[in-house]
């Protein structure tokens, strides 16, 4: 590449001797940095996706080279324009790669502030129109670079809840795709149109709109804020465990998704993150602190996002998380997946006799929610059975299952005496709510929106929304007290209650369960969430004090008629 650039210099700038030595060195240095950056960037895909230590030094080197490259092209822009023929789309490519680095650093660390950095670079590309001249060149591969940049930018904006920007980007992407398919007779037209359809469905996935007075939509964030989790009362006896690692697994058929992120995965990952801060004041680039500095305390639990993993992929990531789990820490497994049911009746009731949830078999899945085995004498192979998780119960384990066969995990056995909790979705929803969204995951991510949804509301004014959020915080505080004051609750719940994220998930789960038990159309047992170990109903999900709160919230929203009143005879 360097030799080619120098030949270009000679052809555009006359004889090689006419070119000042300093300018020739500038081009040579630029080409070296460009080659090195591409080499390092391409090497990132060879790094193992699991394990939290092996990749950090490599990422640091890659950031270092890209930082030098970015500053170098800024300082020597004129020489590079004249002698190298640097095009604006090439600057855009460097900025895009830096944006990708920040995004992948976010994926590997779960530090949301890196999303802001990715957004800054992607935003600069758009504001400075780095890709604007691409359409004038007769090179479809350059246009594809531009389209991919848009798709990556959209993912970052979705994760930052910048929905206004997303809508603008989708419109621009749609125009770009139309122009691309009109100019080049390509085979990927259908794929790019599918990208548009997916992101459009993703934007519309929230079942309730919160509106300002001028009818513009309020963007709500569901990450953990400082006032998010109910505070622990003085003297509350809870465990000191901290949530350190989470596997978020999405393997549902026909669920709204964009890129490799289903709507359930998207909601759950936000429930396990704090609001992002601006990194600019803290550090220049990740992985580059001086050795004398102490690394900042990681604000968020580390996460692996697994979209339609095979059993071996899931088990590999699970084993890596288990191996690296620090002392006094919790591993969370979130499973949003199609149910796999046992065929026929089994004489035994072991951990492989109730089915589980689907893992990817690398072949086309037959349609329908239930996948049945062909040979009844064998267990389903492409399935995560409860028994598959038994080895990992040697350390504190917190499991959430959102599936039509979630109850398979109700038959857990705590073999090693470590804290173990499973929160399980209903296995079926009332007909009026079927196929709309995963209601329990919505409750865990945004309980007020879920409450409005099951109450039949599709929009709400901002003022009322904020009033209800205040009331919901009070409900959460009261649920926390019910749980910690309970005399018969399993100690596992209390051992997890010291962690803010897990405390919020537990209180939201109890709120969800209590709401469904009072709702008029949730009448069958399979419509209710369950847990292992079981919660004491009279002290938690059927507690009269909590039921009174739920009716009060329903009254504020004028939907009291959808809830049963006869639970309050004592009041």
Q: Which residue has the higher pLDDT, 404 or 233?
A: 404
Length of the chain: 571
Side-chain half-sphere of 541: how many Cα atoms within 13 Å?
A: 21
Q: Given the DSSP bridges, would you call strands 302-307 and 242-251 parallel, antiparallel or unpaired?
A: parallel
Query: Taking residues 77-82, what's their average pLDDT?
Result: 90
* Domains defined along the chain, listed by start: 1-209 (1.25.40), 242-256+302-364+380-562 (no CATH)
Using DSSP, state whether 294 is helix, strand or coil: coil
At 215-232, the pLDDT tens digits run: 888 888 888 877 777 777
Name the band, by pLDDT with cuts 50, 70 and 90, for residue 254.
Answer: confident
> How far are the Cα atoms of 32, 282, 486 from residue 68, in angstroms, in the given order?
11, 19, 59
Q: Which residue has the higher pLDDT, 364 or 256?
A: 256
At 195-212, the pLDDT tens digits run: 999 999 999 888 899 999
Name the band, by pLDDT with cuts 50, 70 and 90, for residue 346.
Answer: low
Residue 437 is predicted with a pLDDT of 65
Give the CA-trace dihedral at 515, 517, 518, 523, to 10 degrees: 130
Q: In which region does residue 456 sit, left (phi positive, over 0), alpha (psi from -120 to 50) or beta (all else)?
A: left
Total Cβ atoms within 10 A of residue 11: 8
Name the band, by pLDDT with cuts 50, 70 and 90, for residue 282.
Answer: very low
Token look-up 């963007």 returns 219
Determine whether 217 is exposed, middle or buried from the number of CB atoms within 10 Å of its CB (0-12, 13-18, 19+).
middle
Q: Could you tell me the two tokens for 302?
A: 């580390």
Q: Residue 372 pLDDT more than 80?
A: no
Q: What are phi and psi of 60, to 5 degrees?
A: -60, -45
Total Cβ atoms within 10 A of residue 190: 9
Name the band, by pLDDT with cuts 50, 70 and 90, for residue 177.
Answer: very high
CB 547 within 8 A of CB 510: no
Q: Could you tell me the two tokens for 142?
A: 């350059």
Task: Compute the distance between CA of residue 88 and CA of residue 146 in angstroms, rounded to an integer.
Answer: 12
Q: Which residue has the higher pLDDT, 513 or 19?
A: 513
Q: Could you tell me the two tokens for 63?
A: 């950031």
Residue 508 is predicted with a pLDDT of 96
Q: Which residue has the higher pLDDT, 287 or 544?
A: 544
**Contact residues for 295 (Cβ-Cβ < 8 A; gap 6+):** 289
At 21-66, the pLDDT tens digits run: 888 999 999 999 999 999 999 998 888 888 767 788 888 999 999 9
Task: Compute the distance between CA of residue 334 and CA of residue 248 in angstroms, rounded to an integer.
Answer: 5
- What single string gives the DSSP state of each residue in 303-370? EEEEES-BHHHHHHHHHHHHHHPPTTEEEEEEEEE-EE---S--S---TTSS-EEE-B-SSPPPSSS-
Residue 224 is predicted with a pLDDT of 86
167-181, 235-249, 323-337, 409-423: range with lowest mean pLDDT: 235-249
Residue 74 is predicted with a pLDDT of 92
Q: Given the DSSP bridges, would you call strands 329-337 and 242-251 parallel, antiparallel or unpaired?
A: parallel
**Contact residues for 161 (Cβ-Cβ < 8 A; gap 6+):** 219, 220, 221
Residue 3 is predicted with a pLDDT of 47
Residue 139 is predicted with a pLDDT of 87
> How far are the Cα atoms of 44, 325, 455, 571 from residue 207, in angstroms, in the given order?
38, 37, 11, 34
Q: What are phi and psi of 269, to 5 degrees?
A: -65, -35
369-378, 453-462, 497-506, 507-516: range with lowest mean pLDDT: 369-378
CB 547 within 8 A of CB 514: yes
Taking CA 418 as the corner, what is the angle to CA 416 and CA 419, rounded to the nearest 5 degrees? 145
CB 328 within 8 A of CB 312: no
Q: Residue 302 belongs to what H/E stretch? A: strand 302-307
Q: Which residue has the higher pLDDT, 312 or 369?
A: 312
For 212-263, strand residue ranges (E) read: 242-251, 257-258, 261-262
Task: Compute the distance between CA of residue 108 and CA of residue 101 in angstroms, rounded to an integer.
Answer: 10
The sign one gets for the Cα dihedral 46, 52, 54, 57 is: positive
Residue 2 is predicted with a pLDDT of 46
Instruction: Enumerate the β-bridge partners of residue 519.
Output: 563
Query: Taking residues 348-366, what's their average pLDDT?
Result: 78
> How far are the Cα atoms of 125, 131, 170, 190, 258 from residue 180, in angstroms, in the given order?
19, 14, 15, 12, 21
Token look-up 């993993």 returns 309
Name the band, by pLDDT with cuts 50, 70 and 90, for residue 184.
Answer: confident
Q: Residue 278 pLDDT more than 60?
A: no
Name the band, by pLDDT with cuts 50, 70 and 90, for residue 499.
Answer: very high
Average pLDDT over all residues of the chain: 86
CB 155 within 8 A of CB 104: no
Q: Residue 421 belongs to what H/E stretch? A: strand 420-424
Total Cβ atoms within 10 A of residue 382: 17
Residue 106 is predicted with a pLDDT of 92
Q: Which residue has the higher pLDDT, 27 or 433?
A: 27
- Does the reported pTM lie above 0.85? yes
46-55, 151-160, 227-236, 542-551: range with lowest mean pLDDT: 227-236
Percent of the chain with pLDDT over 70: 87
> SS3 for 356-367, per residue?
EEECECCCCCCC
Instruction: Enumerate the β-bridge partners of residue 125.
Output: none
Residue 188 is predicted with a pLDDT of 83
Q: Residue 93 pLDDT more than 70?
A: yes
Query: Taking residues 234-246, what's their average pLDDT?
Result: 83
């Amino acid at each position: 590449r360097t030799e080619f650039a120098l030949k270009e210099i000679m052809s555009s700038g006359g004889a090689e001797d006419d070119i000042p030595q300093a300018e020739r060195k500038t081009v040579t240095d630029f080409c070296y940095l460009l080659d090195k950056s591409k080499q390092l960037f391409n090497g990132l895909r060879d790094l193992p996706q699991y394990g939290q230590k092996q990749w950090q030094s490599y990422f640091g080197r890659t950031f270092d080279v890209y930082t030098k490259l970015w500053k170098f092209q800024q300082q020597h822009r004129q020489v590079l324009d004249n002698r190298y023929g640097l095009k604006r789309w090439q600057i855009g490519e460097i900025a895009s790669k830096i944006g990708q680095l920040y995004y992948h650093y976010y994926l590997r660390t779960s530090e949301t502030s890196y999303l802001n950095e990715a957004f800054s670079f992607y935003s600069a590309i758009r504001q400075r129109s780095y890709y604007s001249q691409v359409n004038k060149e007769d090179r479809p591969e350059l246009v594809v670079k531009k389209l991919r940049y848009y798709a990556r930018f959209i993912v970052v904006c979705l994760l930052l809840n910048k929905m206004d920007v997303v809508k603008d980007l989708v419109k621009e992407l749609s125009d770009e795709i139309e122009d691309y398919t009109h100019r080049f007779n390509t085979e990927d037209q259908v794929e790019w149109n599918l990208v548009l359809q997916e992101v459009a469905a993703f934007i519309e996935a929230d079942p309730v709109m919160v509106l300002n007075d001028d009818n513009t939509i309020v963007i709500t964030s569901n990450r953990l804020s400082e006032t998010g989790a109910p505070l622990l009362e003085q003297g509350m006896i809870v465990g000191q465990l901290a949530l350190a690692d989470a596997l978020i697994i999405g393997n549902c058929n026909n669920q709204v998704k964009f890129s490799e992120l289903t709507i359930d995965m998207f909601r759950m990952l936000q429930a396990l993150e704090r609001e992002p801060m601006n990194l600019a004041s803290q550090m220049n680039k990740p992985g580059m602190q001086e050795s004398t500095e102490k690394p900042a305390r990681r604000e968020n639990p580390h996460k692996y996002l697994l979209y339609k993993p095979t059993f071996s992929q899931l088990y590999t990531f699970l084993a890596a998380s288990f191996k690296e789990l620090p002392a006094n820490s919790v591993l969370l497994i979130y499973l949003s997946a199609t149910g796999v049911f046992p065929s026929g009746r089994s004489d035994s009731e072991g951990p492989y006799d109730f089915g589980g949830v689907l893992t990817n078999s690398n072949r086309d899945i037959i349609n329908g929610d239930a996948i049945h085995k062909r040979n009844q004498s064998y267990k389903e192979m492409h399935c995560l059975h409860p028994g598959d998780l038994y080895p990992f119960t040697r350390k504190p384990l917190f499991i959430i299952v959102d599936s039509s066969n979630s109850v398979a995990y109700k038959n857990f056995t705590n073999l090693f005496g470590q804290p173990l909790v499973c929160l399980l979705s209903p296995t079926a929803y009332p007909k009026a709510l079927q196929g709309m969204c995963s209601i329990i995951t919505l409750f865990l991510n945004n309980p007020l929106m879920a409450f409005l949804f099951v109450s039949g509301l599709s929009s709400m004014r901002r003022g009322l929304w904020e009033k209800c959020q205040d009331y919901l915080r009070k409900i959460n505080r009261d649920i926390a007290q019910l749980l910690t004051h309970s005399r018969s609750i399993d100690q596992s719940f209390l051992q997890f209650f010291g962690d803010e994220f897990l405390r919020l998930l537990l209180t939201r789960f109890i709120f969800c369960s209590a709401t469904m038990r009072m709702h008029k159309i949730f009448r069958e047992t399979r419509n209710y969430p369950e847990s292992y170990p079981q919660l004491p109903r009279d002290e938690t999900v059927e507690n009269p004090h909590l039921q009174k709160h739920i009716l009060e919230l329903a009254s504020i929203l004028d939907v009291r008629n959808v809830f049963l009143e006869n639970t309050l005879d004592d009041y």
